[in-house]
């Protein structure tokens, strides 16, 4: 597809002087995990050229005379911590050169506990990173082995300690539950230990069997049996209960934060705030504005294809989608319900589409059945609602 409005500068795309979020996808891992379907390579042949290519990609969007303001910057992957400190410095300099990073911007890097040490963590601090997202996944050695993680539980414990020592005041821990073979007790032990470490933020995902992963093949061939729905639902409910008892605010299907510590970057995905992604397979979004309708696009999902286009001076976009009012409306519904609550007035304003009588009725029914609560004009799912979030969203999408 021929890129269209992606031809504007980021500031113009964002449609206003409002700040944007930036994401950079680092498509390298020491080893691919069995369950992961994000784009990443174990072969690091392209890693040396990577910082320079990102720099050139940034230049394709930047407006040097009037740089866009940036409120969040997020390094994800893959495993961003496989980049050397020098390589990360090149990237940080490139972003600073082309954008106006706000002083209080949230700057996050995802790290694998097996690829960092006190020295690298201290260096991240000095590069301006102020938030770490640590891929702990589990403190159960059996689960770690099943998931194909390269680090041990002790590596993870040490990483969290070292991060604090390096001065990181904003830590997030990623955890995975419903791992085949794992007992409920083992999961709750992991969760309790995570809570005891007092991170500001916890992401707890149930294991999803994605196509095109080694795990998918194992399940298909009958070597691995996923959890049953009722058991997974019970684990999810137990997880929500423990985290809220520990003072974490459940602000998205799988995300929990201490007050004031939500991921500002990820929240922009769920709030229809603009973000620009760099690197292979990265996704971008700009909201509708005087410049045009809302737009989503994604980069080429191949390091070679992506770098080839950049070398030709082209934006490495493979898919672009102009959102209709209906699509903005539908997204507004499910993103709202998955995250911070559905604000009907805001969704109507963004999309230009009104809720129907049936949709109003469904929302009222949800509240009546204890699946949602209405607070300050927003409908937020209760734990019982989150367990069947997709069902609720699909039903609410029917006009």
Partner 1 sequence: MDHIRNFCIIAHIDHGKSTIADRLLERTGTITAREMKFNQVLDDMDLEQERGITIKLHAIQMQYRAKNSEMYTLNLIDTPGHVDFSYEVSRSLAACEGALLVVDASQGVEAQTISNLYLAIDAGLEIIPVINKIDLPSAMVESVKHQIKDLIGCKDEDILLASAKADLGIEDILEAVVKRIHPPQGDPEAPLRALIFDSVFDVYRGSIVYLRVVDGTLREGDKIMFFHHGRSFEAEEVGCLEMKRTRTGSITAGGVGYLIAGIKDVHDTKVGDTITSAVRPAPAPLPGYKDVKPMVFSGMYPTNAEDFEDLRASIEKLQLNDSSLIYEPETSTALGFGFRCGFLGLLHMEIVQERLEREYNQNIINTVPNVEYRVTKTNGEVVLVDNPSYMPQLGVIEKVEEPFIRAQIIVPTEYVGNIMKLCTERRGVYKNTTYLDPTRVDLHYEMPLSEIIFDFYDKLKSTSRGYASFDYEFLDFRESDLVKLDILLNGESVDAFSTIVHRDKAHEWGKKLCVKLRKLIPRQMFEVAIQAAIGSKIVARETISAMRKNVLAKCYGGDISRKRKLLEKQKEGKKRMKQVGRVEIPQEAFLAVLSMEDE
State which residue, 49 or 364, has the beta carbon closest to partner 1.
Answer: 364
Q: Does 321 bind partner 1 (CB under 8 A)?
A: yes
Contact pick of 2, 221, 229, 375 for partner 1 (by CB under 8 A):
229
- Dump strand ranges (E) for the chain: 20-26, 69-77, 100-111, 131-137, 171-177, 201-206, 249-252, 255-257, 275-278, 283-286, 295-299, 317-322, 342-343, 372-375, 378-381
Instruction: Please measure the distance between the N-terminal and C-terminal CA atoms of the chain and give it in whole angstroms.
Output: 31
Q: Does 391 bind partner 1 (CB under 8 A)?
A: yes
Angle at 27 between CA 73 and CA 213, to 5 degrees: 120
Beta 69-77 vs 20-26: how paired, if at all?
parallel
* Cβ atoms of 168 and 132 closer than 8 Å: yes
Contact pick of 27, 51, 277, 341 for partner 1 (by CB under 8 A):
277
**Contact letters for partner 1, residues 334-373 (x by CB under 8 A):** xx--x-------------------x------xx--x-x--
Residue 56 CB coordination number (10 Å): 14
d(CA 335, CA 317): 24
Q: Does 327 bind partner 1 (CB under 8 A)?
A: yes
DSSP type of residue 33: -
State which residue, 4 or 321, has the beta carbon closest to partner 1.
Answer: 321
d(CA 120, CA 111): 11
Residue 131: CB minimum distance to partner 1, A: 16
Residues 42-81 that bind partner 1 (CB under 8 A): 76
Stretch that binds partner 1, among 92-100, 184-192, 243-251, 391-399 (CB under 8 A): 391-399
Contact pick of 256, 275, 278, 355 for partner 1 (by CB under 8 A):
275
**Count of residues touching partner 1 (by CB under 8 A):** 48
Can you give the binding site for partner 1, defined by CB under 8 A? 23, 38, 76, 205-206, 208, 229-230, 232-233, 236, 252-254, 269-270, 275, 277, 282-285, 296, 298, 321, 327, 330-331, 334-335, 338, 358, 365-366, 369, 371, 386-395, 397-398
């Amino acid at each position: 597809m021929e890129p269209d409005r992606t031809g504007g500068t980021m500031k113009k795309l964002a449609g206003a002087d409002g700040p944007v979020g930036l994401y950079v996808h680092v498509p390298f891992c020491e080893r691919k995990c069995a369950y992961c379907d994000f784009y990443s390579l174990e072969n690091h042949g392209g890693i040396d050229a990577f910082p320079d290519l990102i720099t050139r990609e940034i230049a394709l969007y930047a407006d040097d005379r009037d740089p866009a303001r940036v409120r969040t910057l997020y390094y994800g992957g893959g495993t961003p911590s496989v980049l050397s400190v020098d390589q990360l410095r090149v990237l940080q300099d490139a972003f600073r050169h082309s954008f106006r990073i706000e002083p209080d911007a949230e700057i996050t890097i995802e790290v694998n506990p097996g690829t960092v040490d006190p020295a690298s963590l201290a260096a991240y601090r000095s590069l301006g990173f102020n938030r770490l997202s640590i891929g702990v996944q589990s403190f159960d050695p059996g689960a770690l082995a099943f998931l194909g993680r390269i680090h041990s539980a002790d590596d993870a414990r040490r990483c969290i300690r070292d991060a604090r020592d390096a001065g990181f005041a904003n830590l997030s821990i990623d955890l995975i539950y419903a791992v085949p073979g794992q007992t409920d007790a083992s999961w709750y032990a992991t969760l309790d230990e995570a809570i005891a470490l007092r991170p500001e933020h916890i992401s707890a995902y149930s294991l999803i069997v994605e196509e095109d992963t080694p795990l998918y093949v194992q399940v298909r061939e009958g070597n691995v049996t996923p959890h049953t729905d009722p058991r997974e639902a019970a684990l999810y409910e137990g997880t929500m209960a423990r985290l809220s008892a520990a003072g974490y605010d459940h602000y998205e299907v799988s995300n929990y934060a201490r007050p004031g510590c939500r991921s500002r970057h990820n929240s922009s995905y769920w709030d229809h705030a603009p973000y620009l992604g760099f690197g292979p397979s990265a996704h971008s979004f700009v909201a509708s504005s005087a410049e045009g309708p809302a737009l989503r696009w994604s980069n080429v999902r191949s390091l070679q294809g992506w770098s080839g286009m950049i070398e030709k001076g082209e934006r490495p976009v493979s898919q672009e989608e102009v959102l209709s009012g209906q699509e903005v409306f539908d997204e507004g519904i499910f993103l709202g319900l998955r995250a911070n609550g559905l604000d009907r007035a805001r969704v109507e304003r963004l999309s230009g589409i009104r809720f129907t009588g049936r949709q109003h009725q469904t929302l009222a029914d949800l509240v009546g059945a204890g699946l949602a609560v209405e607070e300050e004009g927003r409908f937020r799912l209760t734990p019982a609602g989150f367990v069947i979030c997709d069902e609720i969203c699909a039903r609410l999408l029917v006009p």
